[in-house]
Structure 1
Amino acid sequence: MWNVTFFLHMVGTAALGFYLILPFVVGGIQKLSLGAQEGAINTIRVTNRFAQYGLVIQLLTGGYLMSQGDYSPAWMIIVTILLLAMFAVGGIMSKPLKNALAGIREKREVKEETSKLGTLSALLALLLLVMIFFMVFNHII
């Protein structure tokens, strides 16, 4: 059972890899034509939803793996808070995505929304990098 759970945990990790490249994708959106911006933002919206499912997989499988391992309570609290923060920021990101899509369809400027997306995507990438750090160096705490 542990091997299957660990495999699913790695599949969830692969889904979250999107968050590492997201700041670079969002950074180039303003340079695109309106049609390309709409396609890019729609793709980000769909992929963010996919990554949110990856977070659910991480929550379920990670909880099981933590119950089977010997981890410090401080480490478990830190990684749980990081995971919940990623859930929150990923969810918060859905509103600027919807607003940007609506703005593009109305042919108005979406600089404010893409600025928010840039900030949120950078925060998600940072949270994921910190999470990876604690996963690799779980013996530090």
Structure 2
Amino acid sequence: MYGIMMFLHIVGALALGFYLVLPIVFSKVPKLTPAAQEGTVSAIKTLNTYAQIGLVIQLLTGGYLITGGGGGYTRTWIIVVIVLFLAIGAFSGMLGKPLRQAIEGIRNNKGIQDAGKLRTFSTLLCLCVLLISFFMVYRNII
């Protein structure tokens, strides 16, 4: 059972990998035509939804691996990982409204209204995913 959970945990982590390239994508969106902007932001909105599903997979499998896996995790490591996990969930959830507003603004020929929020949330998501990945690989550091 441990092997299956670890496999599903890695699949969930791959879904979160989308957030690593998000700041780069958002830096290029303003240079696109309005039709391309709408398509790109719509794709990002869809991928954000899939990444949030991956986050749920991470929650379920990670909970099993910590409690039933018997990995000898320290309390500090568990707390840091849970805080980073919650931050990823919060930032990805907060990204949803500016994405919807951006799509609406592009459709109404007003452009992307909350470009600053999109860049900020995508950068914070990228940093949190990098940090949590680091602590997953080097769990003995803390």
Q: TM-score range by the shorter chain?
A: over 0.9
- For 1:109 and 1:102, the matched residues in 2 are separated by 9
Q: CA deviation at 1:26?
A: 0.8
Q: CA deviation at 1:16?
A: 0.5
Residue 83 of structure 1 aligns with an amino acid whose one-letter code is: F
Match of 2:53 in 1: 53
- For 2:60 and 2:80, the matched residues in 1 are separated by 16
Two-structure CA RMSD over aligned residues (Å): 0.7
Equivalent positions of 1:64-75 (< 5 A) are 64-67=64-67, 68=69, 69-75=71-77
- For 1:43 and 1:27, the matched residues in 2 are separated by 15
- For 1:78 and 1:12, the matched residues in 2 are separated by 19
- For 2:27 and 2:129, the matched residues in 1 are separated by 18
2:110 alignment partner, SS class? coil
Match of 1:27 in 2: 27
Match of 2:38 in 1: 38
**Count of matched residue pairs:** 140
- For 1:140 and 1:38, the matched residues in 2 are separated by 43
Equivalent positions of 1:1-141 (< 5 A) are 1-67=1-67, 68=69, 69-110=71-112, 112-141=113-142
Residue 34 of structure 1 aligns with an amino acid whose one-letter code is: P
- After superposition, the C-alpha distances for 1:66-97 in whole angstroms (9 at most, x for unaligned) are 11221001100110110011000000000000
Identical residues among aligned pairs (%):
49
- For 1:104 and 1:129, the matched residues in 2 are separated by 31
2:114 alignment partner, SS class? helix
- For 2:59 and 2:127, the matched residues in 1 are separated by 19
Q: TM-score, normalised by structure 2?
A: 0.96
